[in-house]
Structure 1
Amino acid sequence: MLEGFPDEELLESTHTFPCEYRFKVIGSVDDSFVGRVLAAVLAELEEGVEPSFSTKTTAGGRHVSVTIEPEMHSAAHVLAVYGRLRRLEGLVMLM
């Protein structure tokens, strides 16, 4: 189990898989943070799948929020993505 994240049982009781699952990742603004977020998620998806995403930079310009909604096949799949995202350089918050 990933500390601070829902466990498989909770995810399975609140979601019907497969489904779109929303990840929100906030990090330091730099040239490649958004790319690192997308690469981390894409590494867990089937080749050729491009999930929808959006970005928003904070008013002060120090942080960027990336919201990405890939289709997840299981609770374990969701936790695998969280596992990759939590290791990102520049990560401030993960929801």
Structure 2
Amino acid sequence: MKKEHSAETLIEFPCHYQFKVVGAGGEQFRNAVVAAVERSLPVSADAVKVKPSKTGSYQSVSVVVTVHNYDQLKSIYADLRLVDGVQMLL
């Protein structure tokens, strides 16, 4: 019998989880990413890291938070997908 593997069964909750979002450069994008995560969990200032591209056109915003269950993880990803300017979500 084939065993199914999914994030729900592979991740042990609660856990520290890093959301990485690549998108448009600028403070507005960073703030929108943080606000999307904050709909589900509080985000401390030191939990946010921003790395701009060489040209400044894009940036990656990493946010590390403690996720308590799979539904919370799914909810945060759903909110991040709605942020204007998202090019990639990891």
On whether the aligned pair clears a TM of 0.5, the verdict is yes
- Give the TM-score range, shorter chain: 0.7 to 0.9
Q: For 2:80 and 2:50, how far apart are their aligned partners in 1? A: 16
Superposed CA RMSD:
1.3
Match of 2:74 in 1: 79
Cα-to-partner distance string for 1:28-85 (whole Å, 9 max, x where unaligned): 113300000000001111xxx3341201000111101001111101111101000000
Q: What does residue range 1-95 of structure 1 map to in structure 2 within 5 Å?
A: 10-45=6-41, 49-51=42-44, 52-95=47-90
- State the secondary structure of the residue aligned to 1:80: helix
Give me the TM-score of the superposition, normalised by structure 1.
Answer: 0.82
Larger Rg: 2
Mapped to 2, the partners of 1:50 and 1:69 lie a distance apart of 8
Structure 1: distance between partners of 2:43 and 2:85: 23
Q: Indicate the percent of aligned positions where both proteins have the same amino acid.
A: 31
Aligned length: 84
Unaligned 5+ segments in structure 2 are none
CA drift at 1:12: 2.5
Structure 1: gaps spanning 5 or more residues:
1-8
Matches of 2:54 and 2:65 in 1, distance apart?
27
